[in-house]
Amino acid sequence: MINSRDILETIQMIDNENLDVRTITMGISLLDCIDPDANRACEKIYDKICRYAGNLVRTGEDISREYGIPIIHKRISVTPIAMIAAACPDKNPVRFAKALDRAAKTTGVNFIGGYSALVHKGFGPGDYALIESIPQALSETEYVCSSVNIGSTKAGINMDAVEKMGRVVLETAKATAERDCVGAAKLVVFCNAPEDNPFMAGAFHGPGEPDCVINVGVSGPGVVRAALAKAGDCKMDEVANIIKKTAFKVTRMGQLVAQEASRRLCVPFGIIDLSLAPTPAIGDSVAHILEEMGLESCGAHGTTAALALLNDAVKKGGVMASSHVGGLSGAFIPVTEDSGMIDAARCGSLSITKLEAMTAVCSVGLDMIAVPGDTPSEIISAIIADEAAIGMVNSKTTAVRLIPAIGKKAGEELNFGGLLGGGPVMEVNRYSPLKMILRGGRIPAPIQSLKN
């Protein structure tokens, strides 16, 4: 029989340490829905999503009940809509966002990602229209998430897109100002965007993916923190070891759920995303893991080193537990979704500059950070450019998800509720980057891109 200590450890993880499978995300290709008649294309999209994902939520709930493992989200990612909308360039692409929203409602998922464009090297006919329509699309839909890839290690950074996205982020926040600017929380600007990421808001189904696929994102910051707390004083080598072992167990659970979901839905298994994704719930914080390692508050000097160890150990532990690893895979640091980060930002220990340094060693980027509502768009563009540069040079994914808090100043608070959480508005450096941002053009791909 299985060791009773192991059984009780698993029960403890689920009951008290927030162990869960964070998301089962079904990726669906919409390339066969392209139609020069935009309304016809929307019908095809709605029909295909409902046909493929009709059983997704029920299957997720069944697996959750049978295996006794909480599965928090069931979600859908689709082919970047700019590719589909390109076939009908004279039509407003918002109709596609509404079709996605309807499909999300019908299937019962809580987010659908893929109102996206990939413009790292330049704009295609569908891309301009889609990017311009993002503020309207996100303010008139409930479940749709949007992302734009503006740079890559291979292509460099599209500075025209960077300039544009600064304005789009600001306009999206303004368009949803009466709802705590929540539109901007559903918009991610990427460098090196992964094509198989199951996590929102940046999930989309890349053009290199199969027709349909199941990707699973695991989580478990609370489990890691509890394991470290149990270990007490030990050297950093041992800290890394404990994190690896914990990540292994968590990922094996995710792999089992992914295989089972794939089998029941008759859809191939894609990848496991080995991520530590926090939630605002107490005991589910990445910041608290860093503090458990011995920092008084997240953001203190030493935070980047602690995060580097954490991020690396999570991958090392997880990679052996799963047959295919992909997505973002690493520790997330979304400020408003992490109770420890929220506290650190409130007390002044965590600043945007420190967060930027942290993004160089962790999986994503400047995530869920509220900035003052009067921040000029060129400063948002410049923050995007800085973050993209870190991703481009280090051959890693970086992203920016800033929420300009319209009508609010630094120190005031935004509150989205639910998983998106809430938190203090953080100050930005006000010196102007306007002249550089207006130059436009492209930052050439770095020498690291020349690997052939």
Partner 1 sequence: MRAVITVIGKDMVGILARVSSVCAENNVNVVEVTQSILQDLFAMIMLVEISKCKIPLPELSEELTKTGKELNLSVHVMHEDIFNSMHRI
Nearest approach in angstroms of CB 110 to partner 1 is 21
Binding residue for partner 1, selected from 34, 43, 55, 67, defined by CB under 8 A: 67
Cα separation, 452 vs 448, whole angstroms: 10
* Furthest-apart CA atoms within the chain: distance in Å: 69
Sequence letter at residue 344 = A
Binding residue for partner 1, selected from 24, 26, 69, 162, defined by CB under 8 A: 69
Stretch in the footprint of partner 1 (CB under 8 A) among 59-67, 74-82, 158-166, 362-370 = 59-67
Work out the angle at residue 133's Cα, subtended by the Cα atoms of residues 129 and 139, and round it to the nearest 5 degrees.
170
Task: Give strand pairing partners of 76.
Answer: 26, 112
Stretch in the footprint of partner 1 (CB under 8 A) among 52-60, 63-71, 86-94, 381-389 = 63-71
Is 50 one of the binding residues for partner 1 (CB under 8 A)? no
Stretch in the footprint of partner 1 (CB under 8 A) among 1-9, 42-50, 343-351, 443-451 = 1-9
Q: Output the DSSP codes for 176-233.
A: TGGGTTGGGGGEEEEES--TT--SSSS----TTS-SEEEEEEE--HHHHHHHHHHH-S
For the segment 240-259, give every residue that binds partner 1 (CB under 8 A).
Answer: 249, 252-253, 255-256
Is 6 one of the binding residues for partner 1 (CB under 8 A)? yes
Nearest approach in angstroms of CB 237 to partner 1 is 21
Helix/strand/coil for 388: helix
Nearest approach in angstroms of CB 10 to partner 1 is 6
Cα separation, 60 vs 107, whole angstroms: 12
Helix/strand/coil for 330: strand
Nearest approach in angstroms of CB 417 to partner 1 is 29
Closest CB to partner 1 among residues 68, 441: 68
Is 8 one of the binding residues for partner 1 (CB under 8 A)? yes
Nearest approach in angstroms of CB 9 to partner 1 is 8
Is 412 one of the binding residues for partner 1 (CB under 8 A)? no
Question: Could you tell me the CA-to-CA distances from 226 to 79, 250, 285, 328 in Å, in that order?
Answer: 39, 13, 11, 24
Binding residue for partner 1, selected from 68, 70, 122, 348, defined by CB under 8 A: 68
Closest CB to partner 1 among residues 15, 237: 15
Is 2 one of the binding residues for partner 1 (CB under 8 A)? yes
Stretch in the footprint of partner 1 (CB under 8 A) among 66-74, 109-117, 145-153, 178-186 = 66-74
Residue among 43, 156, 144, 136 at smallest CA distance from 93: 136
Supply the Cα-derived Rg of the chain in whole angstroms. Answer: 21
Cα separation, 285 vs 423, whole angstroms: 14
The binding track of 252-291 with respect to partner 1, each residue x by CB under 8 A or -, is: xx-xx-----------------------------------
For the segment 10-49, give every residue that binds partner 1 (CB under 8 A).
Answer: 10-11, 14-15
Closest CB to partner 1 among residues 139, 219: 219
Task: Give strand pairing partners of 404.
Answer: 371
Helix/strand/coil for 143: coil
Contact assessment for residue 147 and residue 188, using Cβ atoms and an 8 Å cutoff: yes
Is 230 one of the binding residues for partner 1 (CB under 8 A)? no
Q: What is the phi/psi pair of residue 173, to 5°?
A: -60, -45
The binding track of 327-346 with respect to partner 1, each residue x by CB under 8 A or -, is: --------------------
Nearest approach in angstroms of CB 148 to partner 1 is 38
Nearest approach in angstroms of CB 372 to partner 1 is 45
Nearest approach in angstroms of CB 419 to partner 1 is 24
Closest CB to partner 1 among residues 66, 178: 66
Cα separation, 205 vs 201, whole angstroms: 12
Number of residues that bind partner 1 (CB under 8 A): 22
Binding residue for partner 1, selected from 40, 51, 65, 105, defined by CB under 8 A: 65
Helix/strand/coil for 342: helix
Closest CB to partner 1 among residues 259, 449: 259
Nearest approach in angstroms of CB 73 to partner 1 is 19
Angle between helix 352-359 and helix 303-319 axes, rounded to 10 deg: 30
Angle between helix 352-359 and helix 377-393 axes, rounded to 10 deg: 30
Contact assessment for residue 314 and residue 348, using Cβ atoms and an 8 Å cutoff: no
Nearest approach in angstroms of CB 217 to partner 1 is 17
Is 360 one of the binding residues for partner 1 (CB under 8 A)? no
Q: What DSSP designation does 300 have?
A: S
Closest CB to partner 1 among residues 62, 211: 62
Using CA atoms of 332, 111, 428, 179 in order, give the dihedral in degrees to the nearest 10.
-140
Cα separation, 404 vs 366, whole angstroms: 13
H helices present in 17-93, as ranges = 38-53, 56-67, 81-85
Q: Which residues bind partner 1 (CB under 8 A)?
A: 1-4, 6-8, 10-11, 14-15, 62, 65-69, 249, 252-253, 255-256
